[in-house]
């Protein structure tokens, strides 16, 4: 099992009132699956993804990733675990504007202590894999939205994560680039047994997913 969430709850105190954002969420995802997380605005998708990613601690319940309970890990162990085994792709690309595409990818390796020629070579190979082999020296401002998103994907994947989590990775893209990005993630799941969990509003990408979880008012709904 790649991801197993059990009885996950999240609530916030707003003045005197406790607001329940997630209610008893149970979710399991097998390795190598592409799973979408869909639901109306405000239903709790980003909150759930943040909890599954270890960025936010739930008020109740547990989350196991790759057989390890991240809700019981020390902060230091969790950050190492995230660095070495998870990859993240966000909607706004989060690229460093002053760095080239290749350097933006290398940063992820540098954080793992991989530098120099080895980092440059791995970054170049990953850029080739996302179809940007000739754009390594471009800075983000000289890339299109779809190309920037592919650099962000290359950065998330260059460390060979076992799970990739993405929050609306196709939101800023036209339908052709959106589909290319999805195909890329899909191929990774098939070729490298990577598990992909993605929050999306985009019905155009339903056909590349193995399954879809719907969240409504903080609860999982079967459809
Ligand atoms: N730190 C917080 N304190 C209080 N309420 C919060 C906090 N973070 C999120 N919320 C509330 O939790 C609910 C769920 O938010 P979340 O961002 O998870 O929804 P979402 O399904 O991702 O929405 P969208 O599709 O619009 O991004 C919202 O009503 C939001 O206002």
Tens digit of each residue's pLDDT (9 = 90 or more) over 191-221: 888 999 999 888 877 788 899 999 999 999 9
Give the percent of the chain with pLDDT over 70: 99
Over residues 167-182, mean pLDDT = 79
Over residues 16-44, mean pLDDT = 94
Query: Mind spelling out the 3-state secondary structure of 125-188?
Result: HHHHHCCCCCCCCCCHHHCCHHHHHHHHHHHHHCCCCCEEEEECCCCCCCHHHHHHHHHHHHHH
Provide the pairing of β-strand 60-65 with 68-69. antiparallel
Residue 42 CB less than 6 A away from ligand 1: yes
- The pTM of the full predicted model, rounded to 2 decimals, is 0.88
Give me 60's structure tokens: 């109740």
Beta-carbon-side half-sphere exposure of residue 6 (alpha carbons within 13 Å): 8
Provide the pairing of β-strand 211-216 with 219-221. antiparallel
Q: Which of 8, 14, 42, when mutated, tests ligand 1's pocket best, judged by the most ligand atoms within 8 Å of its CB?
A: 42
**pLDDT class for 180, splitting at 50, 70, 90?**
confident
Nearest CA to ligand 1 atom 18: 44
Nearest CA to ligand 1 atom 4: 12
| Short-list 120, 200, 186, 108, CA closest to 154 | 108
Which pLDDT does position 116 carry in this prediction?
Answer: 93
Over residues 62-78, mean pLDDT = 95
When the pLDDT of each residue in the chain is averaged and rounded to a whole number, the result is 91
Extents of the domains making up the chain = 3-221
Which pLDDT does position 171 carry in this prediction?
Answer: 76
Residue 150 CB less than 6 A away from ligand 1: no
CB atoms within 10 A of CB 25: 24
ipTM, two decimals: 0.92
CATH topology of domain 3-221: Rossmann fold (3.40.50)
| Whether the predicted pLDDT of 92 surpasses 70 | no
């Amino acid at each position: 099992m790649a991801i197993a969430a059990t009885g996950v709850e999240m609530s916030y105190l707003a003045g005197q009132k406790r607001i329940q954002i997630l209610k008893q969420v149970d979710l399991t995802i097998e390795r190598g699956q592409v799973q979408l997380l869909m639901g109306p605005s405000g239903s709790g998708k980003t909150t759930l993804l943040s909890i599954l990613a270890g960025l936010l601690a739930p008020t109740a319940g547990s989350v196991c990733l790759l057989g390890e309970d991240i809700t019981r890990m020390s902060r230091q162990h969790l950050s190492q675990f995230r660095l070495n085994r998870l990859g993240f792709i966000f909607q706004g690309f989060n690229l460093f504007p002053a760095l080239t595409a290749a350097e933006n990818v290398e940063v992820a390796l540098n954080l793992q202590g991989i530098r120099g020629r080895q980092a440059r070579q791995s970054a170049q190979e990953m850029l080739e894999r996302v179809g940007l082999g000739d754009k390594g020296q471009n800075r983000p401002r000289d890339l299109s939205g779809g190309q920037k998103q592919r650099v962000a994907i290359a950065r998330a994947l260059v460390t060979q994560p076992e799970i990739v989590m993405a929050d609306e990775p196709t939101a800023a893209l036209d339908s052709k680039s959106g589909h290319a990005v999805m195909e890329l993630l899909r191929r990774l799941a098939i070729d490298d047994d990577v598990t992909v969990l993605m929050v999306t509003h985009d019905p155009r990408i339903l056909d590349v997913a193995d399954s879809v979880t719907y969240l409504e008012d903080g609860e999982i709904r079967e459809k």
